[in-house]
Amino acid sequence: LKGARPEKPFTLKITEDYVKVAGKVKGLVEETNKVLEFINKQNQIDQNSDTKTTFAGDTSLQNIEFQLRNLIHEPMLVMDGDGEVLRSYRLNQLGVEFEKSGLLTFKEEKFTKALERDFEGVGQAITGEGGFSPSLRKVLDGYTRIGNGILTTREQGIRGKIKEIDRQIEEKTRQIDRKSQSITDTFSRLQSTMANMQRQGQYLSATLGGSGGNPISQLLGG
């Protein structure tokens, strides 16, 4: 192209870059595996696991894993310009398969052969309207979308519960403080009353005892 000149014809050959396309799909598989690895790690617990820092048994994670695995097994439709279904592909036909570990593996040679046979169809199965990539994005967006995504909504709910618990703790603390102050005041009054009674007793003993005789008898007029 740089050497093009007026009246100087040249030939430009455009071919599909199978290696680059395969690399993009490999990257998509690797990112999907990161999500599956995170879910697996959260669900692996034993007697030494700190469940305060994991999401073991969390329903949201279970739902994400369920939808991802279903999506990977579902057929991806190839349609014409009028929306008519021409054929379909499953990911295992394109070299994307599950391992025993539960993670995905990508067989690039198998994928490349599928591209060579049907480049347009495979491309649509991966990136088309009903393809794997848009479907995966739709599933994940439903959880991670800011504002009304499932995880955002759950986070807001948890923060609301924490705030309510903090409010209840503050209210209980105020009640305890008031109760403690009330008990302290009652005890102080009781001590003051006892001190007064002791002083009165000492006064009576001193007054009546100094005149001789039994103080009780003197009080009764004896």
**CB neighbour list of residue 134: distance below 8 Å, 6 or more residues apart:** 127, 128
Residue 51 pLDDT greater than 70, yes or no? no
Judge whether 99 and 88 are in contact, CB under 8 Å: no
Residue 128 carries which DSSP code? S
- With cut-offs at 50, 70 and 90, classify the pLDDT of residue 182: very high
Judge whether 86 and 78 are in contact, CB under 8 Å: yes
Cα–Cα distance for residue pair 30/33, rounded to 1 Å: 5
Phi-psi region of 83 (alpha: psi -120 to 50; beta: other; left: phi over 0): left
The torsion defined by the Cα of 162, 165, 166 and 169, in degrees rounded to 10, comes to -160
Residue 221 pLDDT greater than 60, yes or no? no
What is residue 60's predicted lDDT score, i.e. its pLDDT? Answer: 74
Q: Which residue has the higher pLDDT, 158 or 180?
A: 180
Cα–Cα distance for residue pair 98/105, rounded to 1 Å: 6
Per 3-state DSSP, the chain is made up of helix, strand and coil in percentages (nearest 5) of: 65, 10, 25
Paired residues of 97 in beta bridges:
105
Judge whether 137 and 131 are in contact, CB under 8 Å: no
Average pLDDT over residues 121-133: 85
What is residue 207's predicted lDDT score, i.e. its pLDDT? Answer: 76
Tokens representing 18 are 């199978």
What is residue 163's predicted lDDT score, i.e. its pLDDT? Answer: 92
Nearest CA to 56 out of 67, 46, 48, 44 is that of: 44
CA dihedral sign of residues 98, 100, 106, 112:
negative
User: For a pLDDT cut of 90, what percent of the chain falls above it?
Assistant: 19
Average pLDDT, the chain: 82
